[in-house]
Chains A and B, each alone.
Chain A
Amino acid sequence: MTGLLCKAIFAGYKRGLRNQREHTALLKVEGVYTREEVDFYLGKRCAYVYKAKKNTVTPGGKPNKTRVIWGKVMRAHGNSGMVRAKFSSNLPAKAMGHRCRIFYPTLPDLNYTANP
């Protein structure tokens, strides 16, 4: 499935130096190192995928051990291509340093004028 997704790393939570806000995660997207490049990824869906011991239902497949926390890229963070994302539930701290995936909806066109 790497065919259609972008890789990102969960770098940490949004934070001041001494307090962190776990509701927003910071993601470092591979290949994106400036704030202008981030524009492309805004609004994209992202997912933290992990495995657990018990089988759970998988849509469109047999129940397996994979689980997902879904989220969305909200905005840019800083000038070097980091991104803020909010997930349906806060990411677990053990995910720090681990892979997050970013994908659809639309990869926007250059002449994108519509509001779907």
Chain B
Amino acid sequence: MAEGDKKKVAKKAHCSRNPVLARGIGRYSRTAMYARRAMYKRKTKTTETKIEKKMKVKTPSTITKTVGGDKNGGTRVVKIRKMPRYYPTEDVPHKLKNHGKKPFSQHKRNLRATITPGTVLVLLTGRHRGKVRSHTDSFVTQSPSCFLHPLGPLALNRVPLRRAHQKFVIATATKVDISGMKIPKTLSDAYFKKKRLRRPRHQEGEIFDTEKEKYQLTVQRKEDQKAVDSQLLPLIKKVPQLKGYLRSSFCLSNGVYPHKLVF
């Protein structure tokens, strides 16, 4: 017991002190857990004093708005939370709210521990399957999807700046040290997202005339590619044989079984 400790030391959280007997059932009762966790020592909230209560700002229940139009100039008092303007004849039971069911966009995304910035990845799907490329990160944690940002570099294996999904990628143990690299800020999920090419609305006589827009290589992409590549290439050249490695493709051949490979 660190009695001399006046400061609050951030203690490491203990694992659960309640061993699990079966899912959802712990070994100890609620009161037993109270004692085990020493909650009697941890009561922090004292009752609110009257002054504190007064200091708490109440959200106003009404608002005063100015009147325009005919009766201009005056003010009227408007309730912020209005009475419902419709009451159903029968009482409909409320649906229970879902607990913790998030829409897909808010799902937690985990990234595989083996994928770190600078890891060399093998792409498994898409045009560039089999290609070996190095991976930059910084957006990975930010991006709400689990997309990665691998780079070619373009000069070595013709793989441009593109997103890849971590599921469709093998992370190898090879790493390039890219801590010194600066990545243009523009690269983000939105930047890489496929542009939905909207067909023009149906017009008279032009129903079959939809122009399917092809993907146009924008100047910005080229510049970004160059900016990133130029930083990446010298780093790669430092590592012996890495250049050749990145140029080659990953391939399984006779007698080579992926479950036996060490990546």
Measuring CB to CB, which residues of chain A are less than 8 angstroms from any residue of chain B? 2-6, 30-32, 37-41, 103-107, 109-116
Contact = CB atoms under 8 A, between A and B. Distances in A.
Contact of A4 (B111, B112, B251): B251
B171 interface: yes
Nearest to B256: A31
A28 to B, nearest CB: 13
B169 A106 contact: yes
Contact of B112 (A5, A32, A38, A113): A113
A4 B250 contact: yes
Contacts of B234: none
14 contacts: A4-B251, A31-B260, A104-B124, A104-B125, A104-B167, A106-B124, A109-B114, A109-B263, A111-B114, A112-B112, A114-B111, A114-B113, A114-B166, A116-B109
A40 B258 CA distance: 8
A40 to B, nearest CB: 4
B159 to A, nearest CB: 15
B130 interface: yes
Contacts of B236: none
Interface string B225-263: 000000000000000000000000111110101111001
B262 to A, nearest CB: 8
Nearest to B249: A3
Contacts of A106: 124, 166-170
Nearest to A40: B259
A107 B123 CA distance: 11
B110 interface: yes
Contacts of B175: none
Contacts, number: 82
B112 A111 contact: yes
B129 interface: yes
A96 B110 CA distance: 40
B110 A6 contact: no
What are the nearest 4 A-B pairs in CB distance? Answer: A31-B257, A114-B110, A40-B259, A109-B114
Nearest to B263: A109
Given A4-B251, A4-B252, A107-B124, A114 B257 contact: no
A107 B253 CA distance: 16
User: Which of B110, B249, B252, B259: most chain A Cβ within 10 A?
Assistant: B259
A3 B113 contact: no
A3 B112 contact: no
A4 B130 contact: yes
B146 interface: yes
A116 B252 contact: no
Contacts of A40: 258-259
B259 A116 contact: no
